[in-house]
Every structure is written in C-alpha cells, then in structure tokens.
C-alpha cells in the first residue's frame, strides 16, 4: 500500500515526468493519474485490437475458398467472425478514443491536474479488465457464435456455450463506459480553466462531451437488454423468445436503441480528433468552429432517433420504417457539414504532410465514402436489396474502421510524442499509413460490389461467382495487416530509440502542447492561461528546441482583443 | 478509375436500351457492374434509384476528394514558420452547405419511399405460397398441398409468400427480384413480387437466407424457377403427386434420396459428426438402422442404451416406430452428445414419405455416402418432375 498514489497530499516539487514519477508495477496498478490510466487503456485496447485483427484475417483467409475447408468448420468460422465483431466493438472501438486517448489528453487540454473523479476513473479501467476477462472465459466455456448483435431467439436457445459469460462481460463493459462518460461530463463542466468558455474549448472536447452524453444515456439500455437475455437463456423466462410468449423483434429494438447511438460513441470522438489534426497540421484557424461544435451535439441527439433503420426488413410496421428512414437522413446533414468545414480549413492553410496529417486526410477520404454509401442504406426501397449483404459490411467498416479507427491511429500519432516523449520515424510512418490506406480500400471497396451483387453477410460458404471479389478483398486485408505490423514496429522502436520529443512538435496551440513531453505528474504547476486554441499566430519555430513554442502573452492577448471586439467565435 | 467510369457509362446506356426492350416483352435487365440481373417488376425502379444515388455519390466524392487534394497541393507547408491566415468562418457558405444536402436527401427519401410502399402492398389477387423456414431448410407449400425445396413461381402473376419460422430468425432474399423479408418465429411475415419472364432451361435465380441462423446459415441457398403459367400448372399437379406415382417397391430408392436432401443439412451419411447424429456409423454401433434395430446395440439415447426404448412391450414396439416418432416429435428423446435442435416434420412429411426415409435407412448400404445426390447443388436433389 505504500506505493498507492497519494497525490493530494504531495507538496514537494514534482520529479521528472508522469512516467518516472513513481516506479514499480504497483505504482501503475494503483495509479490514480489519468495519464497512466490512459496508457493502460491504450495497451489493453491495442492488445485487443491485435486479437480482433487476427480473427478478421482468419475469416478473410477462409473466404479465399468458396466451399468447406478442412482447417475451419462452419461453427469455428461463426465463432471467429463473432469474436472479431464483439472484440472490435466492445473492447476496442468504444473505449479506444474516449477511454485511452481521451483519458490522457482531456484533463491536459483543460489545464486540469486530473479528471473530476480519479478513483472512478481507475475503477472504470478495472471494469474493462473484468469485462475482457469474461470474454476470455466465454471462449473457454465453448465460445459464442451469435454474431456481435446477439439476436434472439438464436442467442437464447441455440448459441454456443459461452454466450452467457460474454453477455455478462458486455454488461460489465457497459458500466465501464458509463463511468468514463460521467467522469468526462463532470470534468468538462467543472474543471475548465478561467477564460475557457464553451466556445474556446477544443473541438475534441466538444466531441468527447457529446459522446459522454450518449454513453451515459444509452448504455444502461444495453445493460438491461443483455441482462434480460441472460435471464431468458438461463431461466427460460420468455421475453424475446416467441415459443415462450416473447417477441424476438423487441430484442432488436432494445439492442439497436443502444447500438445505434453506440455507432456515434465510436465515430464522434474520431471526428473530434480529426478537427484537431486538420487545424494543427494546417497551422490555421479551424473553419466554422460553431458549426462543427453544434453538429457534434446534433449527431448525439439524432443518434437516439434512428435505431429502427437497422430493422427495415425485420417485420416492424411499414409506417415505422418510413419514419425511421426519414429521420435517418437528418444524420447526413451534420456529418456533411463537418466534412465541408474540414475542407475549408485546408483552404489557405500551411499543410504539413506528415504521418498524422496523412491519417487525417485518409479519414476525410474514407469517411466520405462511408457516409455516402449510407444513403442507399437509408433509402427504403434500395435498403431492402442491400440489407444484410456485404454492402452493409463494407459501409460500416468504412465508418467504424476507416473512420473511427483511422482517427484513433491518427490521434495516437498526433499525441504519441506527448504521451511517450519520443518521436516516431516519419519515413516508416508514411509507409505504414499508405499500406493501411491502400489495403483498407482494396479490402472493403470490393465488398460494396459483393454486397450489391447479392452476397449475404456471415456466410461460411458462397457461390463461386463471388470468388474474384473475395480474393481481392482477402489480398487487401493482408496488405492492411502488414501496414499495421509496420506501424506497431516503428512505434515500439521509437520508445527505445526515438528522438526526444519537444513539448510542441507540430505547432499546436491548445494547452496540451504547452506542458513538457511527456507531461509532469501534475500536468501544470499553476493553472495555465488560455487563449484561442485554434489561433496559431503566436506559435513560432524554435531552432534550439527543435519544436514550436507558443508565446503565451501574445496568444492570450489576441484572444482577449478578439472577445473585446466581438470577433471571437 | 477510367475503367470504372466507362463501365458506369456503359451501364447507364444499357439501362436505357433496357427500357425499349421492356415494351417488347424483355422483362429481365442484365447484370451490371453494381447490380445482379433484375428479374422482378420492382427491379427496374429500385435499380434506377440506386444508380441515381450512385451518381450523386460520385459527384460529392470526387468533389470532396478533388478539393482536398487540390488544397493539400496548393497550400502545402513551406519552411518552418508556418502560421497561415485563412478565414475562420463564413456564415452564408456554411448555411449553404447545410441546406443544400438537406434538400437532396429529402428528394432521395421520397424516391425510396414510394418504391417501398409498392413493395409492402401485395395485390389482392396475388398467388399465395406458404413458406416454412427451419434450421436449415426452406419448405415451399403450394395451394394444392404440394411442397418443394426450391421455389417455383408462375410468370407474369403477382406471387405472395406467407412465411413463418419454426425456430430462429431467418430472412428470405431473392436478389434478382430485389426482395427481402425476415422470417420471424411467432408471427407471419409476407413478401410479394412479380416475375414476368420465365427462367430459361438450366437457369434460375438464387434465394438466400440473410439472417444469421447458425451452422448451416450459408447452406440455405435455394433456387427460384419462374415458369410460364401452363408449365407451372402442370408442374404443380405433378409435384402434388410425385410420391404417389412411385412404385412402392422402388419407393426407398427413388423418393428416399430426394427427401433426405432436407435432412442432409444436419445428418451426414458417412459417419462425420453434424448438428444431428450421422445416419452412418459414428459411435461404433452401426448405421442408423442397425443401431436402432439391434437389441444389443450400444447406442445411447437419454443416457441409456437405446434397447431400453425399443422392443416388444417397451415404449416403441420396433425400430420403425422409434424413427417415425423421432421425425414427428424429435425432441422427446435426444441422442447422447447432441442437443434438442431438430424441428418437427409433422405436416410436412406424410406417411409415404416417412416410409421412404425409413426404407432408405434400412438399405443405407446401397447408397454412396459421398455421392452428389445428397447435395443441394446437384439437380438430382431438386424434386422437379421434369
């Protein structure tokens, strides 16, 4: 217990940075430091990403062959794609940006010493670990093969032996997510420094705030839904199972009431990261701050009203289908607004084409495709043809992976020097990014054709006419896999042999670039003064430091005169 | 990319020529880069909406990516002092790109809406076919009581499928008709279409299950044959009687394999484990007939030797009765090592069909366990009369 972090009582000067502040495994296990918790989340999430990625490659490799293969039965295939989906959604994408990157960056961006509830923060992390442990246990108990959507009555009557453990895991992970959201909402409300009004707050925080609202409001519904499913499966109480008087479609309503907003839990923080990356690496003021900020809130609100568009063929009433289709289009507007604003931010910028920015541009490219291909899925008559085909698979991979995960990897590069104090190799970074980008498009663009030609999803065996597209798609997934392996290698290599990072390698103006890299244990010795985080006029290159410095006096003064003359946001 | 564009241009011109051929009775649109052939009356409109959206999408995609690449090249970083002065907002511009997409999506919504309402409103005179989905079979039942494993429909006539599921969710999808509807246990769902052109000899449309339903999900693919009305009527009469017309002496040999096709998803013949126990020898107690009829069988059901169930004075007088009960009330007794997964075939197999199946079990040695007649993909399994 002596190594328990007792920071509130520490008064002597802070030695070194947060990594060297205390040493030993216990100083990590019991840490209350948001940065260390963020790093632990990051390691955990990236490890899960590796496992989920291996599952994806197994699935793709099986699909090289149209018929049966001796090394993977249909049941094993079903378990592999289910595991891939469940890991990527619940263990990777949902916690990746808010819990891993958000935890690290959010308090520093606010100039705060920590989140509002550091102990709750650590508890969230251990809930994540428990949830992951349940998932591992379910594999030992026979695995689960229901698809990540757990549709009844398959999941309640038939699914493999590990179904209940994994549902318990999802229940626990839900609480991890709720507590993180709660923590962030309170932190953003209460711990902003003087001078940081809502409209001086970085857009990443707007996005995380909108996300946190969804996490707190939607996740309990998932919790109670999986709890009901466990009750039905374990005690044969008919809730969703028609043979016991329940209604299978009810489950779909409950499930998507959470899982559609969850899509925005995944993509919104990604959009926030892109707003940061595009502005900082274009070295110019973000275009249309208010439109971007409000579009985050609009997306958060609309996200609760569109769940039925997952169920156009489920047998819900045609009137419901029409209403849900109409409301679904409303999500397209704020998404389009964001894309146009990012483009306008490039206009008259000074664009650094470094690895981070390449990820930012890749996001705009991929998100545009992901968003536009959502239109034929929202249109009732065309969705009937495309529903549950590879078209849907391609669409949501463009949004979930091409957008949310690419933004996460972009954010990881953006803040890597801050988190680790080391610079990664730009050369290998660009190669890795290019391979991931090319591999991704080869993998998933072909799946649009597969789907619109009528190939259903979750198929172990398929008609030989689809073979060519499957081969191209699998080839792309290998390219992407190589890209990610290269990325992992140069990032890990940089930890040991990377150049020391300056405090501000990219020329950012928000607060996290004004403390050292890596940040000291308490982030800031005194509450920092805040200027306009997208005003780069006071940012200059310092040859001696090999990084940028922000002239705080000029920065804050510019913001003051802006607000005085009413020119601010 | 130029290839893609030329394909698309070709496609739109072929679409236009399709319109003219429609007037002359050509009711099937050919397969294009994006879409499979369109063989129902819905296909033309849905394809048009899909292509229309595609063109809007190409426009916005090339606009966004074009502007992005141009800006990235034009405003690339020069030197280390990088502060750039650009406008931080422009309310008119931003309102413009909020309102313009709004108008476009409202238009698109209405295009999809009208097509959808048609698809959900079957005409009153539609020809009804009842569909039962189980893991992992479709049974199509026609008004005269005939059943089939593949779907046969009359051309030029609206057809309405009334569907139910006996176990989990399934979804019936005929891609060339652009129709899809989930099949939900505990309720009836319907779907309708009209295919105007009979399928040519040797051709068919694929029917897929598109709601994940477990091990055999991807083996629920069946064929859809469109026949002109006269052919359909005579097929229907034949189909209703095909079992009756078979000589009792040849019943097991001629009807057995066709009926077994429905069992093949779960029960193999070669002893390999499936969802259900193999009909072949898998536990050393012989094939399904031998292990049920042998009084010294080591085969175990409900954790007991099967001989405790079968024999004079026991629950089942003989092996035939046991097998018959297993088909009609499958979950009453469960073979060790397997779960209660089999749906009942009550109402789907009549006495003669069950006789044929039992006959096939008795003569299992005469059948090639790996021969393709048991496989769906082979034409021999299709119960077509022709």
DSSP per-residue string spanning A307-350? GGGG-TTTT--HHHHHHHHHHHHHHHHHHHHHHHHHHHHHTT--
Angle (nearest 5°) at CA B46 between B44 and B51? 95
The minimum CA-CA distance between A558 and chain B, rounded to whole Å, is 14
**What was the pLDDT predicted at B252?**
81
Given a cut of 60, whether residue B6 has pLDDT beyond it is no
The CA-atom distances, in angstroms, between A40 and each of A36, A91, A423, B87 are 6, 13, 20, 40
A417 pLDDT above the threshold of 70: yes
**Would you place residue A315 in the very low, low, confident or very high pLDDT band (cuts 50, 70, 90)?**
confident
CB proximity list for A317: less than 8 A, separation 6 or greater: none
Instruction: Select the residue of A78, A353, A375 nearest B57 (Cβ to Cβ).
Output: A375
Q: Which of B105, B178, B208 sits opposite A384 (nearest CB)?
A: B178
Task: Assess B107–A contact: CB distance below 8 Å, yes or no.
Answer: no
Query: How many Å lie between the alpha carbon of B217 and the closest alpha carbon of chain A?
Result: 7
**Would you call B162 an interface residue with chain A, using a CB distance cutoff of 8 Å?**
no
- What stretch of H or E contains B59? helix B43-74
Q: Is the Cβ pair B187, A242 closer than 8 Å?
A: yes
Band the pLDDT of A116: cuts 50, 70, 90: very high
Tell which residue, B55, B59, B50, has the closest CA to residue B111. B50
Q: How confident is the model at residue A360 (pLDDT cuts 50, 70, 90)?
A: very high
Burial class (CB in 10 A: 0-12, 13-18, 19+), A155: buried
Mean pLDDT, rounded, of chain B: 83
Structure confidence at residue B1 (pLDDT): 42
- Are B128 and B160 in contact, with CB atoms under 8 Å apart? yes
In tens, the pLDDT along A530-545 reads 888 898 988 989 888 8
- What residue of B is the nearest CA neighbor of A243? B186
Q: Is B4 on the interface with A (CB under 8 A)?
A: no
Q: What are phi and psi of B193, to 5 degrees?
A: -160, 165
Reported as a pLDDT band with limits 50, 70 and 90, residue A565 is: low
Rg (CA), chain B: 28
Residues of A in Cβ contact (< 8 Å) with B90: 287-288, 344
Q: How many residues does chain A have?
A: 569
**Closest partner residue to A348 among B86, B108, B117, by Cβ?**
B86
Contacts of A426 in chain B (CB under 8 A): none
Segment A212-217 shows an average pLDDT of 94
The number of C-beta contacts closer than 8 angstroms across A and B is: 287
Tens digits of residue pLDDT in B41-58: 999 999 999 999 999 999
Residue of chain A minimizing CA distance to B100: A333
Q: Does the beta carbon of B85 lie under 8 angstroms from any beta carbon of chain A?
A: yes
Report the DSSP pairing between strands B205-209 and B127-134: unpaired
Instruction: Tell me the C-alpha to C-alpha distance, in Å, between residue B342 and each of A163, B263, B339, B350.
Output: 21, 10, 8, 18
Q: Which of the residue ranges A258-262, B164-168, B179-183, B304-308 would you say has the lowest mean pLDDT?
A: B304-308
ipTM of the complex: 0.90
CB atoms within 10 A of CB A64: 13
- Which pLDDT value is given to residue A70? 92
What pLDDT does residue A337 have? 92
Chain B residues with CB-CB distance to A78 below 8 A: 212, 214-215, 217
Q: Is the pLDDT of residue B231 over 80?
A: yes
pLDDT of A568 above 50: no
The predicted-structure confidence for A494-540, as pLDDT tens digits, reads as follows 999 999 999 999 999 999 998 888 999 889 888 888 888 898 988 98
Query: Among candidates A67, A220, A82, which has minimal Cα distance to A139?
Result: A82
Chain A residue with Cα closest to B89:
A288
Give the residue-averaged pLDDT of B349-362. Answer: 86
Are B83 and A78 in contact (CB < 8 Å)?
no
- Determine the longest span between alpha carbons in chain A, in angstroms: 75
Contacts of B54 in chain A (CB under 8 A): 376
Q: Which residues of A66-98 are buried (b: 16+ CB within 10 A; e: fewer)?
A: beebeebebeebbbbbbbbbbbbbbbbbbbbbb
pLDDT > 90? residue A344: yes
Residue B165: pLDDT band with limits 50, 70, 90: very high
Question: What is the per-residue pLDDT for A564?
Answer: 65
- pLDDT-derived band at A9, boundaries 50, 70, 90: very low
Q: Which helix (H) or strand (E) holds A378?
A: helix A375-378
In angstroms, the CA A155 to CA A459 distance is: 18
pLDDT at B24: 39
Average confidence score pLDDT of chain A: 91
- Categorize the per-residue pLDDT at B5 as very low, low, confident or very high, splitting at 50, 70 and 90: very low
Query: In degrees rounded to 5, what are phi and psi of residue A319?
Result: -60, -45
Residue A253, CB-side half-sphere exposure with 13 Å CA sphere: 12
Tens of pLDDT, residue by residue over B270-302, are: 888 778 888 888 888 888 888 888 888 888 888
Do B88 and A289 make contact, defined as CB atoms within 8 angstroms? Answer: yes
Mean pLDDT of B342-351: 82
- The pLDDT, as a whole number, for residue A402 is 94
Question: Is-cis flag, bond preceding B136, omega within 30?
Answer: yes
B215: distance to nearest CA of chain A, Å?
A: 5
A347: chain B residues, CB-CB within 8 Å? 71, 75, 86-87
The residue-averaged pLDDT of B193-202 equals 92
Q: Rounded to an integer, what distance in angstroms lies between the CA atom of residue B200 and that of residue A334?
A: 49
Q: Closest to B35 (Cβ–Cβ): which among A332, A452, A460?
A: A452
> What fold does the segment set B127-241 form as a domain?
Immunoglobulin-like (2.60.40)
What residues of chain B, 270 to 309, have a C-beta less than 8 Å from chain A? Answer: none
Q: pLDDT band for A15, please (50, 70, 90 cuts).
A: low
B215:A284 CB<8 A: no
d(CA B115, CA A322): 11
| Type and span of the H or E element at B162 | strand B159-165
Select the residue of B94, B214, B215 nearest A288 (Cβ to Cβ).
Answer: B94
Residue B299: per-residue pLDDT = 86
Residue bearing the bigger pLDDT, B17 or A182: A182
**CA–CA distance, A230 with B9 (Å, rounded to integer):** 53
pLDDT of residue B370: 62
Asked if residues B294 and B324 have their Cβ atoms less than 8 Å apart, the reply is no
Question: Which chain A residues contact residue B89 at CB under 8 A?
Answer: 287-291, 569
Q: Spell out the SS3 assignment of B221-277.
A: CEEEEEECHHHHHHHHHHHHHCCCCCCHHHHHHHHHHHHHCCCCCCCCCCCCCCCCC
Rounded CA-CA distance B51/B29 in Å is 14
For residue A192, the distance in angstroms to the closest alpha carbon of chain B comes to: 23
Q: For residue A236, how many other CB atoms are within 10 A of its CB?
A: 12
| pLDDT for A225 | 94
Whether A282 and A510 have beta carbons less than 8 Å apart is answered as: no
Q: Which of A74, A351, A380 lies at the smallest CB-CB distance from B77?
A: A351
> If residue A397 lies in a helix (H) or strand (E), which one and from where to where?
helix A390-399
b or e along B1-35 (b: 16 or more beta carbons within 10 Å of the residue's beta carbon)?
A: eeeeeeebeebeeebeebeeeeeeeebbbeebebb
CB-based burial label for A501 (10 Å; 0-12, 13-18, 19+)? buried
CB contact under 8 A, B115 and A284: no
* Predicted pLDDT at B183: 95
With 90 as the cut, is the pLDDT of residue A555 above it? no
pLDDT for the residue A305: 92
pLDDT for the residue numbered A443: 96
| A-proximal residues of B, 232-251, CB under 8 Å | none
| Nearest CB neighbour to B168, from listed A154, A339, A380 | A154
What's the angle, vertex CA A316, arms to CA A314 and CA A321, rounded to 5? 100
B315 near A CB under 8 A = no
Q: Say if the Cβ atoms of B83 and A284 lie within 8 Å.
A: yes
Say what the pLDDT of residue A119 is: 95
- Decide if A376 and B50 are in contact by the 8 Å CB cutoff: yes
pLDDT band at residue A21, thresholds of 50, 70 and 90? confident
Task: Name the region of A147 (left: φ>0; alpha: ψ -120 to 50; beta: rest).
Answer: left
Cβ <8 Å between A454 and B175: yes
Would you state the pLDDT for residue A82? 95
Instruction: Identify the residue among B62, B114, B211 best suited for mutation to test binding to A, counting A beta carbons within 10 A and taking the highest.
Output: B211
> Looking at the predicted structure, is the pLDDT value of residue A84 above 90?
yes
Q: Could you state, in order of their start, the residue ranges of all structural domains in chain B?
A: 2-74+90-119, 127-241, 248-381
pLDDT value of position A12? 42
Residue B328 has pLDDT above 50, yes or no: yes
| Mean pLDDT on A399-413 | 96
% of chain A residues with pLDDT over 90: 79
pLDDT at residue B377, as a whole number: 35
pLDDT digits (tens, 9 = 90+) for A420-461: 999 999 999 999 999 999 999 999 999 999 999 999 999 999
Query: With helix as H, strand as E and coil as C, how does B94-123 read?
Result: HHHHHHHHHHHHHHHHHHHHHHHHHHCCCC
Q: Cα distance from B224 to chain A (closest Cα, Å)?
A: 15
Of A9, A389, A284, A334, nearest in space to B35 by CA = A389
State how far the Cα of A141 lies from the Cα of A152, in Å rounded to an integer.
20
Measured in degrees and rounded to the nearest 5, phi and psi for residue A169 equal: -60, -45
What is the per-residue pLDDT for A16?
Answer: 77
| Gap between the Cα atoms of B357 and B325, Å rounded | 13
The fraction of chain A above a pLDDT of 70, given in percent, is 96
Record: contact A379-B111, CB cut-off 8 A? yes
The C-alpha of B332 sits at a distance from chain A's nearest C-alpha, in angstroms, of 17
Contact between A360 and A277 under an 8 Å Cβ cutoff? The reply is yes
Tokens of A362: 């890749």
Cβ-in-10-Å burial (0-12, 13-18, 19+) of A344 comes to buried
Interfacial B residues in 184-223 facing A (CB < 8 Å): 184-187, 189, 206, 208-219, 221
Closest Cα in chain A, distance from residue B92 (Å): 11
For residue B132, name the pLDDT band (cuts at 50, 70, 90): very high
The CATH architecture that domain B248-381 belongs to is: Orthogonal Bundle (1.10)
pLDDT at B173: 96
Interface test with A, best of B47, B164, B170, B210 (most A CBs within 10 A): B210
The β-bridge relationship of strands B189-193 and B159-165 is antiparallel
d(CA A481, CA A492): 17
Alpha carbons A554 and A538: distance in angstroms, whole number: 6
Return the exposure string of B252-290: e unless at least 16 CB atoms fall within 10 Å of the residue's CB, then b. bbebbbbbbbbbbbbbbbeeeebbbbbbbbbbebbbbbb
Domains with residue ranges and CATH for chain A: 14-564 (1.20.210.10)
* Nearest residue in chain A measured CA to CA from B117: A318
Of residues A162 and A412, the one with the higher pLDDT is A412
Is the confidence at residue A365, as pLDDT, over 90?
yes
For residues B88-103, give the mean pLDDT. Answer: 89
- The yes/no answer on whether domain B2-74+90-119 falls in CATH 3.15.10 is no
Q: Which residue of B has its CA nearest to A465?
A: B36
Please say if the pLDDT value at position B17 is more than 70. Answer: no
Would you state the pLDDT for residue B346?
Answer: 82
Q: Which residues of A touch B75 (CB under 8 A)?
A: 282, 346-351
């Amino acid at each position: 217990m002596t190594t328990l972090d007792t920071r509130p009582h520490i008064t002597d000067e802070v030695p070194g940075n947060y990594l060297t502040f205390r040493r030993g495994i216990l100083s990590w296990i019991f840490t209350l430091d948001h940065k260390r918790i963020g790093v632990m989340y990051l390691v955990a999430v990236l490890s899960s990403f590796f496992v989920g990625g291996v599952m994806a490659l197994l699935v793709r490799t099986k699909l090289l062959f149209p018929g049966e293969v001796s090394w993977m039965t249909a049941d094993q295939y079903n378990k592999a794609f289910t595991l891939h989906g469940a890991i990527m959604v619940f263990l990777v994408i949902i916690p990746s940006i808010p819990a891993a990157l958000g935890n690290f960056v959010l308090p520093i961006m606010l100039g705060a010493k920590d989140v509002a509830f550091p102990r709750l923060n650590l508890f969230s992390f251990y809930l994540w670990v428990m949830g992951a442990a349940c998932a591992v246990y379910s594999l030992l108990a026979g695995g689960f093969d229901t698809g990540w959507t757990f549709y009844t009555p398959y999941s309640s009557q038939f699914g493999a032996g590990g179904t209940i453990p994994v549902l318990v895991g999802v229940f626990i992970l839900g609480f991890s997510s709720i507590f993180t959201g709660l923590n962030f909402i309170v932190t953003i409300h209460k711990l902003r420094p003087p001078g940081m009004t809502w409209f001086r707050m970085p857009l990443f925080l707007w996005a995380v705030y909108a996300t946190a609202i969804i996490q707190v409001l939607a996740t309990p519904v998932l919790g109670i839904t999986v709890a009901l499913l466990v009750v039905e499966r374990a005690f044969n109480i008919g809730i969703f199972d028609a043979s016991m008087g329940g209604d299978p479609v009810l489950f779909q309503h409950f499930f998507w009431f959470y899982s559609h907003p969850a899509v925005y839990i995944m993509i919104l923080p990604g959009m926030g990261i892109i707003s940061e990356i595009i502005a900082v690496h274009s070295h110019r003021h973000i275009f249309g701050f208010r439109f971007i900020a409000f579009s985050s809130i609009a997306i958060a609100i609309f996200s609760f009203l569109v769940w039925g568009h997952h169920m156009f063929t489920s047998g819900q009433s045609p009137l419901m289908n029409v209403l849900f289709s109409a409301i679904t289009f409303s999500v397209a507007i704020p998404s389009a607004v964001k894309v146009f604003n990012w483009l306008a931010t490039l206009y008259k910028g000074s664009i650094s084409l470094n690895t981070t920015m390449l990820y930012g541009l890749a996001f705009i490219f991929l998100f545009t495709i992901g968003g536009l291909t959502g239109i034929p899925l929202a249109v009732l008559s065309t969705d009937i043809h495309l529903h549950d085909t590879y078209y849907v698979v391609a669409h949501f991979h463009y949004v979930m992976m091409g957008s949310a995960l690419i933004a996460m990897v972009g954010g990881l590069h953006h803040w890597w020097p801050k988190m680790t104090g080391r610079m990664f190799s730009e050369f290998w970074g660009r190669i890795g990014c290019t391979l991931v980008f090319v591999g991704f498009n080869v993998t998933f663009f072909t799946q649009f054709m597969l789907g619109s030609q009528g190939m259903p999803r979750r198929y172990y065996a398929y008609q030989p006419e689809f073979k060519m597209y499957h081969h191209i798609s699998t080839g792309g997934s290998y390219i992407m896999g190589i890209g990610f392996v290269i990325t992992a290698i140069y990032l890990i290599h940089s930890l040991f042999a990377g150049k020391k990072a300056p405090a501000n390698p990219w020329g950012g103006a928000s607060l996290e670039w004004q403390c050292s890299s890596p940040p000291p244990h308490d982030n800031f010795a005194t509450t920092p003064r805040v200027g306009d985080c997208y005003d780069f006029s006071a940012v200059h290159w310092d040859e001696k430091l090999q990084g940028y410095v922000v002239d705080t006096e000029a920065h804050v003064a510019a913001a003051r005169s802006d607000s005085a003359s009413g020119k601010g946001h | 990319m130029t290839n893609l564009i030329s394909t698309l241009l070709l496609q739109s011109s072929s679409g236009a020529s399709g319109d003219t051929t429609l007037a002359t009775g050509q009711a099937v649109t050919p397969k294009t880069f994006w879409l499979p052939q369109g063989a129902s009356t819905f296909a033309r409109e849905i394809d048009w909406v899909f292509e229309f959206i595609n063109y809007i999408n190409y426009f916005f995609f090339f606009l966004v990516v074009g502007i992005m690449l141009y800006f990235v090249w034009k405003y690339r970083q020069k030197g280390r002092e990088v502060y750039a002065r650009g406008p931080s907002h422009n309310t008119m511009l931003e309102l413009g790109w909020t309102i313009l997409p709004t108008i476009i999506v409202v238009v698109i919504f209405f295009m999809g809406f009208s097509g959808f309402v048609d698809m959900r409103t079957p005409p009153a005179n539609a020809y009804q076919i009842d569909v039962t989905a189980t893991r992992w079979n479709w049974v199509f039942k026609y008004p005269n009581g005939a059943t089939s494993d593949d779907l046969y429909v009359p051309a030029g006539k609206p057809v309405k499928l009334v569907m139910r599921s006996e176990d989990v969710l399934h979804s019936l999808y005929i891609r060339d008709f652009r129709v899809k509807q989930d099949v939900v246990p505990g309720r009836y769902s319907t779907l309708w279409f009209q295919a105007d052109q009979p399928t040519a000899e040797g051709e068919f449309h694929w029917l897929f299950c598109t709601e994940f339903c477990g091990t055999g999900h991807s083996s629920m693919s069946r064929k859809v044959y469109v026949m002109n009305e006269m052919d359909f009527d005579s097929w229907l009469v034949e189909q209703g009687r095909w079992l009756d017309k078979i000589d009792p002496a040849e019943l097991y040999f001629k009807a057995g394999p066709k009926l077994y096709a429905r069992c093949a998803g779960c029960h193999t013949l070669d002893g390999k484990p499936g969802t259900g126990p193999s009909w072949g020898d898998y536990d050393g107690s012989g094939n399904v007939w031998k292990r049920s009829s042998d009084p010294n069988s080591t085969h175990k059901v409900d954790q007991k030797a099967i001989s405790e169930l079968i024999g004079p004075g026991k629950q089942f007088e003989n092996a035939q009765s046991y097998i018959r009960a297993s088909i009609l009330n499958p979950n009453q007794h469960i073979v060790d090592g397997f779960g209660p997964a089999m749906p009942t075939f009550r109402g789907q197999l009549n006495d003669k069909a069950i006789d044929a199946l039992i006959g096939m079990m008795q003569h299992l040695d005469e059948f090639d366990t790996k021969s393709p007649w048991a496989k769906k993909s082979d034409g021999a399994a299709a119960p077509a009369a022709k």
